[in-house]
Amino acid sequence: MGLPLLFSAVVVAVVLAVCVVSLSYAYRPGQASRPREQPAPDPAYAELRRRYAAGEISREEFLQRKIDLEE
């Protein structure tokens, strides 16, 4: 009867240790806790998308200009 009780105690201790370590990583200050900044949207690309959506330019022209903007 002593061995199963010891095994249960070890399992509980390991689970608690994993929980403590996980929580310490989750709430530590630093890079992981900071929200990632989104890059500023490109106004030229937004205008290109608007013109394509409005039907002012063709798909081919849209794709070519998109490639030009990415260079």
**Taking residues 14-41, what's their average pLDDT?**
76
pLDDT of 55 over the 80 cut: yes
pLDDT of 20 over the 90 cut: no
**Most confident listed range (5-19, 21-35, 57-71):** 57-71
Global confidence as pTM: 0.46
Burial bucket for residue 7 (CB in 10 Å: 0-12, 13-18, 19+): exposed
Helix residue ranges, H only, the chain: 2-26, 43-53, 59-70
What local confidence, expressed as pLDDT, does residue 53 receive? 96
pLDDT of 48 over the 90 cut: yes
